[in-house]
Amino acid sequence: MDLIKQESTEFKISVLGESAKYDKSAKTSFRPGIFREAEAEYALDFGVRNKDSYKNIRESDFLSNIYKTVTSSGKCVSLFKVLQTNKCERNCLYCVNRKSRNTVRTSFKSDELARIFMNFYGKRYVSGIFLSSGIYESPVKTMDEMIKTILILRNTYKFKGYVHLKILPGVEDAQIEEAIKIADRVSINLESPEENLLKRIAPEKRFKEEIFRAINSIKNFDDKGLKIKSGFTTQFISGVLEETDFDLLKRTVMLYDEFKLRRAYFSGFSPVTYTPFENKAACPLMREHRLYQADFLMRLYGFKFAELPFDNGNLSLEKDPKEIWAEQHPELFPLELNNASYDELVRIPGIGIKSARRIIEARRQSSLNEEKLKNMRVMLKRAHKYV
């Protein structure tokens, strides 16, 4: 059988899985020891592919479309990350799927994609699906096809597992309502923190009329009692223009406070060939990492936005924000670990949420010492100046 002419299942999975890589469903893993390797991987240049390059695709080749994420309940889920189509009517300047870019285009029919996913699910390759899409013909028509895919999974195959469904800009309220009903998590990408910046990277996207209208619609449904199991998320592109970390995190806080955003993802800009931004420098992976650290401090550690240590609008690439904050407040340290409160403990560099809880539990039994702290995974080299 001619693999290319028939646009085989393997071909479509390879194209539409690769095209989905820029959509975030989980934080990029980061370990300083592999910084260079991670940065290189994160700046992958997809280039222009032709159909001949997809010959001889094996099942193992497209298992790379499977990503790990953690649900709100703490359960680890293997997500099949894929697009309904990479055909797109919009010309976002940074996007691998922009309309005027010379690249291979293909689409899944809803029943076809549902069947493929259930095949992977049956083989225990995956336990959930992350479904996004380019906008082909119209947002409403494409969203209908995406919803149809999930409805087939839910109703025909009785799939009860995890579904993350992307809300496309420009869809109708009724489609948002249906998406909330059938998905565990929904998301809509804001991309930029301000309207004027979005116009410069995605001229056809409307900040207020499309994206914020959808975000407000999600909130209105929530207020009426239609809850999303795992909440809704958004994604920002960092380092594409002159947006600062202050701008990105200020907008994030507003979404947390006013719209019940579950969390924000920060995708460091990575140039794609044959786009207007192909010669722009990639965003350093460390900048993305610092944004996540600052976000965690606000969401999980009790820090206020005003406490974040910005320098000319950006976070330091040299030190993490919690350590800088501690250095700026010598009046609060050193702390006595045997009687410090939980809120005080989590503000000590080298002590995280889990180790703070372990400290509180352990000191009920006996006094603490260095060996015990090591066993609790306290980073003593970082913490010693503050205790």
Per-residue confidence of the chain (387 residues) as pLDDT tens digits? 333 345 788 888 888 877 777 665 555 443 333 222 222 222 222 223 334 433 433 444 456 678 877 766 677 888 999 999 999 999 999 999 999 999 999 999 999 999 999 999 999 999 999 999 999 999 999 999 999 999 999 999 999 999 999 999 999 999 999 999 999 999 999 999 999 999 999 999 999 999 999 999 999 999 999 999 999 999 999 999 999 999 999 999 999 999 999 999 999 999 999 999 999 999 999 999 999 999 999 999 999 999 999 999 999 999 999 999 999 999 999 999 999 999 999 999 999 999 999 999 999 898 888 888 988 999 999 999 999
Residue 80 makes CB contacts below 8 A (sequence gap 6+) with 65, 66, 117, 120, 125, 126, 128, 129, 130
- Helices (H) then strands (E): counts for the chain: 14, 7
Considering the entire predicted model, what is its pTM? 0.86
Beta-sheet strands, E only, within 96-205:
128-132, 162-166, 185-187
With beta carbons less than 8 A apart as the criterion, state whether 337 and 361 touch: no
Measured at the CA of 284, the angle between CA 280 and CA 289, to 5 degrees, comes to 140
Residue 155 makes CB contacts below 8 A (sequence gap 6+) with none
Instruction: Kindly report the backbone phi and psi dihedral angles of residue 267, in degrees, each rounded to the nearest multiple of 5, phi listed first.
Output: -105, 110
Q: Strand 128-132 and strand 263-268: pairing?
A: unpaired
Q: How far apart are CA 256 and CA 248, in angstroms?
A: 12
CA–chain centroid gap for 203, Å, is 23
Pick from 60, 67, 56, 48: which is nearest to 8 by CA?
56
Helix (H, G, I), strand (E, B) or coil at 213: helix
Q: How far apart are CA 250 and CA 256, in angstroms?
A: 10
Provide the residue count of the chain. 387
